Chain A
Amino acid sequence: MNHELESGTMTSNTLSRRNFIGSLAGAGAALTWILRLRLDAVRTVASPRPVVSIHMDQPYLDWSGTAMPYDPPAGLRSGEVLANLGEESLRLRYCYL
């Protein structure tokens, strides 16, 4: 909060064009810095940094910091059961797929 007050607050209602544009630039820079702080704060709560993990031979970013296994939506990869079958084995069971 102190950062916001110190970097973004205008104290005068009378502005020159130069001051106005300068203040906009400053406010923009301050806003970016504030957002980065807030995002970092959230990330700090969730995880120090994302961890690249692997689930079912596919990489994904684990933001949880908890190292819990990835819990995909129900039904995901429901076709996988046939994936490793050769062509004859596949067509033996499912000729129209």
Chain B
Amino acid sequence: MVDFSNQPTMKGFFAPTRFEADVYDCEVIGKVPTELNGAFVRLGGDWLYPPKFEDDSPFSMDGYINMFRFKNGIVDYKGRWVKTPRYKADLAAKKQLFGKYRNPFTDDPSVKGLDRSVQNTTPLAFAGKLFTLKEDSLPYQIDCNTLETIGPYNFNGKYRSLTFTAHPKVDPATGEMICYGYEAEGLETNDVFLYTINRKGEVTRELRFRVPYVAMVHDISITKNYVIIPIFGFVSSMERLKEGKVHWGWDDTKPAMVAIVPRDGEAKDIRWFKGPSRATVHTLNAREESNKVIFEAPIYDSNPFPFFPPIDGSKWDPTKARAYIRRQTFNLNSKDDGYTEEKLFEMNVSDLGRVDDRYLTMPYRYAFTAYSDKQRPFADWKAGNLGGRVSNCYGRFDLATGKMNSYFAGDTHSLQEVCFVPRKNGAEGEGYIMGVASNYAEMRSELIIADAQRLEEGDVARVILPFRATAQVHGRWMDASELPFA
């Protein structure tokens, strides 16, 4: 029998929900634009059973996928567990068998050798298929109508890395997906396998290379000719795992390193650049200007995650766990390995930023992300005393003018990652933003939809769920043309 009573923070709004659900023809405040035909698919996690270790990372949550299916102005909701071998083993045993984040040495001996992936990071639609992604394993294919788990997918055996990134990039010009796996040959190896997969789902290119040290390689950017791969201070080692520690620790002595990899080149063609310690967990976009590669991302000053603590035993510093939208410029003709960096906006933001994906690899103007605006009201008496500590706004950051427009969710709400949905044939930034808001006064989740060019006007529609949806890591809009929706 499951017991969460000794988990003091898993209560109230944050108590695990642990159920699968269908809600047909959801309640809506406002009017859902009828031009939206597709689904907002979100992937995140919930705890089927409490974590085995109190200090385990929330990234160990069991994967849960949910979908808001839009058609003719009606929205249906569906939520399902991602039923990995790990999920099934725990359910059969009626307890948590798996230990710390990406450390099999802390697991129950009965699950030795079992795929311990939780599939809780990013949903992906590609080549007519729906996938869940988690960077410690292969993608899992999911039925796009039932959300039932089909199983791991290796692109007909041609994808040979043991791992697959949670952040592949699809080149809008060619339809190719650029993806990779790090620790590609197994736990604690410093191999990276980089792939090009065409729009039909066929692997067309593989490049294998090594990174200077085993590090988290969470996200990349692409230009027409290059792949930009940042690595930074999250480090690991077999010794660390055998000591029973969580996979990642933070090493502040490690410089930020960025690989610029030619998309049609060899490992010897890779240029490595080096800069001051930073954490580039997620990216926005990149482009080429003459001999320069320009890369933009919401980049943290230092370690953003206290559950991946400093390896020197020092205390995690929350003042450095702040992300700012930054531009890094790499001169491919330079003789040294330095690069320039500038902060584009002075305010700290959520690093879960998005752009209009039709403009990946190209010059672009708008970035979208959430942020906490302490000047906006927060009704502590209705929501709990979380004012100033939650993301309550979405911002549209204009990289051309330096201005920001914002959408406010309400005085009892926080916001999860924003998603930009382009209007068909619209210019850059024309379309909608979507994201799930947590309503702490009424203990429910609400999908907000706003005009991306009129954020100050508030929602055009708000889809109301009569319960809390699971926590989300990443969500993506998938047009009806991308998947065989019913």
Is the beta-carbon distance between A76 and B316 smaller than 8 angstroms?
no
A88 at the interface (CB under 8 A from B): yes
CB interface residues, A 38-76, toward B, < 8 Å: 56, 58, 73-76
Is the beta-carbon distance between B58 and A95 smaller than 8 angstroms?
yes
CB interface residues, B 302-318, toward A, < 8 Å: 304-307, 315-316, 318
Is the beta-carbon distance between B306 and A88 smaller than 8 angstroms?
yes
CA gap between A1 and B200 in the complex, in Å: 86
Is the beta-carbon distance between B13 and A81 smaller than 8 angstroms?
yes
A17 at the interface (CB under 8 A from B): no
Q: Which residues on A sit within 8 Å (CB–CB) of B14? A: 81-82, 93-94
Segment at the interface with A among B131-139, B211-219, B441-449: B441-449
A97 and B444 contact, Cβ closer than 8 Å, known pairs A79-B12, A81-B13, A92-B55: no
Q: Which residues on A sit within 8 Å (CB–CB) of B440? A: 75, 77-79
Determine the residue in chain A with the shortest Cβ distance to B59: A95
Determine the residue in chain A with the shortest Cβ distance to B317: A88
User: What DSSP secondary structure best describes chain A's contact surface?
Assistant: loop
Q: Which residues on A sit within 8 Å (CB–CB) of B307? A: 92, 95
Is the beta-carbon distance between A78 and B443 smaller than 8 angstroms?
yes
Determine the residue in chain A with the shortest Cβ distance to B352: A96
Q: Which residues on A sit within 8 Å (CB–CB) of B390? A: 79, 97
CA gap between A83 and B11 in the complex, in Å: 12
CA gap between A69 and B305 in the complex, in Å: 41
Is the beta-carbon distance between B9 and A93 smaller than 8 angstroms?
yes
Is the beta-carbon distance between B385 and A80 smaller than 8 angstroms?
yes
Is the beta-carbon distance between B386 and A96 smaller than 8 angstroms?
no
Is the beta-carbon distance between A82 and B9 smaller than 8 angstroms?
yes
Is the beta-carbon distance between B11 and A77 smaller than 8 angstroms?
no
B129 at the interface (CB under 8 A from A): no
Is the beta-carbon distance between A83 and B304 smaller than 8 angstroms?
no
Is the beta-carbon distance between A83 and B9 smaller than 8 angstroms?
no
Determine the residue in chain A with the shortest Cβ distance to B416: A96
Among B8, B416, B473, max chain A CB count under 10 A is at B8
Is the beta-carbon distance between A74 and B443 smaller than 8 angstroms?
yes
Is the beta-carbon distance between B384 and A79 smaller than 8 angstroms?
yes
B414 at the interface (CB under 8 A from A): yes
CA gap between A64 and B8 in the complex, in Å: 34
Is the beta-carbon distance between B13 and A97 smaller than 8 angstroms?
no
Q: Which residues on B sit within 8 Å (CB–CB) of A82? A: 9, 12, 14, 384, 386
CB interface residues, B 366-412, toward A, < 8 Å: 381-386, 389-391
Is the beta-carbon distance between A75 and B321 smaller than 8 angstroms?
no
- Partner pick for A81 among B12, B55, B389, B414, CB 8 A cutoff: B12
CB interface residues, B 414-459, toward A, < 8 Å: 414, 416-417, 438-444
CA gap between A82 and B380 in the complex, in Å: 12
CA gap between A14 and B350 in the complex, in Å: 77
Q: In the complex, what's the smallest C-beta–C-beta distance from A15 to chain B, in angstroms? A: 53
Is the beta-carbon distance between B384 and A81 smaller than 8 angstroms?
yes
Q: In the complex, what's the smallest C-beta–C-beta distance from A66 to chain B, in angstroms? A: 22
A80 and B306 contact, Cβ closer than 8 Å, known pairs A96-B352, A97-B391: no
- Partner pick for A75 among B55, B316, B443, CB 8 A cutoff: B443
Among A90, A91, A96, max chain B CB count under 10 A is at A96
A87 at the interface (CB under 8 A from B): yes
Chain B 134-167 interface 0/1 with A at a Cβ cutoff of 8 Å (1 = within):
0000000000000000000000000000000000
- Partner pick for B386 among A74, A83, A87, A93, CB 8 A cutoff: A83
Is the beta-carbon distance between A79 and B9 smaller than 8 angstroms?
no
Contact surface of B with A, Cβ cutoff 8 Å:
8-9, 11-14, 55, 58, 304-307, 315-316, 318, 321, 350, 352, 381-386, 389-391, 414, 416-417, 438-444, 471, 473
Contact surface of A with B, Cβ cutoff 8 Å:
56, 58, 73-85, 87-97
29 pairs, A vs B, C-beta closer than 8 Å: A56-B381, A58-B381, A73-B441, A74-B442, A75-B441, A76-B441, A76-B442, A77-B12, A77-B381, A77-B383, A77-B384, A78-B383, A79-B390, A80-B12, A81-B9, A81-B12, A82-B9, A82-B12, A82-B14, A83-B386, A90-B389, A91-B306, A91-B318, A92-B307, A94-B14, A96-B352, A96-B417, A96-B471, A97-B386
The list of the 4 closest CB pairs from A to B, nearest first, reads: A75-B443, A79-B384, A80-B384, A83-B385
